Structure 1
Amino acid sequence: MNPPLLQFNDKGIYCQQADVYLDPWRPVKNAIITHGHSDHARWGHQNYITHYSNIPIIKHRLGEINVSGKNWNETFTINGVKFSFHPAGHIIGSAQIRVEYKGEIWVFTGDYKTEDDGISVPYEVVKCHSFITECTFGLPAFKWSPQADVMTEINNWWAENRAEGKTSVLFGYSLGKAQRLLKNLDTSIGPIYTHGAIENMTNIVRPQIDLPPTIRVTAETKKENLLGSIVIAPPSAHGSTWIRKMTPFVTGTASGWMTFRGARRRRAVDRGFVLSDHCDWTGLLESIKATGAEKVICTHGYSDIFSKYLRELGYDARTAHTQYEGETNDTDES
């Protein structure tokens, strides 16, 4: 009996026929990468293949690497296996990987969301027989409001803080979430400042997307200039000496985990906004149905619960252990 087209081992998702890995978590010879977050694009591989728009991102993070780029829907063949990248809608440059061999089609989503965020190429449904999906938010409790509604909440919060003479400090990870926030902030309210980590990554992606002007917070930044502004910072900045410059300030976090009130308390923020770069429960189910896949493999997130529910719906579904993290609570790039 032939092995599955894609297998899970201690290094990552492996295609034996092509001798290539998808988003491997240990060093390998050949790696096809979905996007630039640190749990999917790791240092140490000999050769990287990714979408063109992801190249400057992973080079910024990993340094000088041997990487080649492909366009959307461009087929490239390795030992008879056809591969192609398709938009995942997760962050800038994020892709699904379609794998085809002798008429059998698999799709690995990486991380994805179905709502158009205005900065990522929107998610594309890819028909397949087997679908490897994340399920970071694979519980019915996770149901997202439209982005426009959440951004109205954020902009109103900023305006209220400005009226009270306070600085608004909004936490979001440096790749993806920060640029999504920047794209949708109401610049008529006031100036936008950024933490150095946010500014560095934003400058990397500015050639690809239209973003408003931002001001880096430095040691020379005057406290009075920050009053009434909004500052976008990574979660790691919370509680640091860096943030003291903002006093008086109000804090907020944009994350899917803000669905749970306890998550806001644990992060010790004043306001939580439910905004995720992953699918919610409904988005996951609709995406799986649209692919036409009969077999579904669930990776990171609420994988056991979600795969059990899929089996109840009639899918051949199971869980696979990986080292992907999804939208975690304590990193800047998840």
Structure 2
Amino acid sequence: MARHPYRLEPRGKKGILWIRFTAPNGREVFRSSGTVDRELATEWASKIHTEQYRVARLGEKPRRLWTEAVVAWFEDHKGKRSIKKDQHNLKWLSPYLGHLHLDEINSDVLAMVSSQRKAEPKNKRRKKDGSTFTDEPTSQATVDRMMALIRSILKDAQRRGWTDSSPSIQIKEADGGDDYRWLTQNEAVRLHDELAPHLRPPFLFALATGWREQNVLRLMWDQVDLDRRVAWIKGRQAKAKKAIGAPLNRNAMDILLEQRAKRVAGNPWVFPSGSEKDSQPYVRASNTGWYAAQRRARVEPLAWHDLRHTWASWHVMAGTSLRSLMELGGWRSYQSVLRYAHLSPEHLAADAGRIETLAEPLRSRSK
């Protein structure tokens, strides 16, 4: 019986079979087959070995792997602000694309990847008995960000000449409409009453300022000036990497004064996790207790970030201009706040009335 020029080695907890052999140019090849089926892995290994021979001996153009394209793309984008999110997506994609060549990634493969991600729960949380549960599906926006990342990597590989073409990936752009969740006043009251006592102050502060979860939880007293009634987010903590100063309204001031009264000398955190001097802030506010409270308050599903949407919606309905809202919320573009414009059409009343006199002859004829 002829001996294969390669070896198949199971690796990892799942026993995925990896191929190992020495290519004709002397380079060792070690790749995952993506399967535990030895027959399929053997067929794939034979194909890879043949391709390596044809490239080395016949001068054919080498076929590039998805993993090679990822490495090349990452090298050029490692300074990207959202690179950690990209790394998370790439780790999730590895079992599906990691063993494929670029020319094997077609529309059918991408449709499968998209549907798999959409069907996967967004967040798995752990119960006291050790089991996990979730009641929130992965959002379409999360799937779209992952597909945009795939498109970027495939386009980059095409520019490098590693593939002749890349499959079309159509992603619906956000239309800025009322596609977000916000709380009514009654819903906010119900949720507040169901929250654990330690979650109520950061909850109220988020509604008073519109700050994001980590900006609230990691607020330090050296970022607060109660005399001037202002607080600020440091540049390294802001999403836009630019410091944000925020005037404090009465609601925010009341919360800070209550927290100062409870403060333990020497503790720098506004919302510490305990009453000791070395108590650290909570890692997350959107924990098991948060989701349980919103179920009891009948306001689910609700993400902590929806408190920012609530703050912005309440502002617009109270008459705050979109330009002022943009500055208060630290948004970099006017486009970001247009999604809230429909909540207060009153600011267009004067413009709507400009043609009243022009249409007056028509109005008199209709009588």
TM over 0.5: no
Normalising by structure 2, we get a TM-score of: 0.24
When you count helix as a share of all residues, which structure comes out higher? 2
TM-score relative to the length of structure 1: 0.26
Q: Which has the larger radius of gyration?
A: 2
Structure with greater proportional strand content: 1
